[in-house]
Amino acid sequence: MRSPSVASRLYFLRWLEIACQALVLWGASRWLGLDGDRLVTMSALIGGFALFNVFAGLRLRLKRLQAQYGQTMIAPHKPKTKPTGPSLSKSMLRRLIRRIERRLQRLKEKRQKIPARVLVKDLPGDPLLRLSRERQHLTQCLKMVAYQAESDLLALVRPHYARADQEGRTLITSALQSAADLQVGKEQLTVMLAPLSSAHRSQAIAALCEKLNKMEICFPGTRLRLHYAVAEEPV
């Protein structure tokens, strides 16, 4: 009973992402402010991560310069190989190392003044908001269902797409987001997908459509059988 649900999910996924976004926006007026006495981590501080990133980048650059300077001191008479980048003299390396060490010391002193955890009411800028617990759980459930349906479709398209492990989910997403024409018949609802960016991607989705069509799933709430196809490339 697992396979028939895949075909019906293809229709469901086409509007699921939009529905999630609308749900979040609809609940924006009912977002709850975080308790002012609640402690939050350093990540909530403006510029906190930026300071740590600069510090880590300078430390990495310092290690590279120190290694380069050590090589010039250990083997000063070693035959030179073809340089892979700009070569620096010993005096220039020493000046750069001292300059970075001084800057690291200043950043370290500045970092020590920043508390690891602060109260929400002490944060600068607009107050932090979060969705109500019920809407947050519903949104997460919808995302989980969408991911599972995407995984089912990926399993069906894998035999027909060589790079399924690397680009399979991107292919499924492109197909779900592409334009389509709906043709309503007496007993059938045809979903004609637009061609994708390349012929082999369109062929893979066409093979997926054939597998879905063999399941003979009806459109929810009707007796119309769903039929998926990919339109031919315009000449």
Domain locations in the chain as residue ranges: 2-15+132-230, 39-122
pLDDT of residue 145: 85
Tens digit of pLDDT at every position of the chain (235 positions) = 334 444 455 555 555 555 555 555 555 444 445 555 555 555 545 455 567 778 888 888 888 888 888 887 776 555 555 444 456 788 888 889 899 999 989 888 887 777 667 676 666 666 655 666 777 777 788 888 888 888 999 999 999 999 888 889 999 989 888 888 999 998 999 999 999 988 999 999 999 999 999 988 888 888 999 999 999 877 5
Burial 8-25 (b: 16+ CB within 10 A, else e): bbbbebeebeeebeeeee
Q: Which residue type does 24 have?
A: V
pLDDT of residue 203: 93
Q: What share of the chain is helix, strand, coil (3-state, %, to 5)?
A: 60, 10, 30
How many C-alpha atoms does 134 have within 13 Å on its Cβ side?
Answer: 2
Identify whether the C-beta of residue 171 lies closer than 8 Å to the C-beta of residue 203: no
pLDDT of residue 68: 85
| Strands 188-193 and 225-230, sheet pairing | parallel
How many C-alpha atoms does 178 have within 13 Å on its Cβ side?
Answer: 22
pLDDT of residue 205: 94
Q: Which residue type does 196 have?
A: L
Strand arrangement of the beta sheet that strand 188-193 belongs to: 180-184, 188-193, 225-230
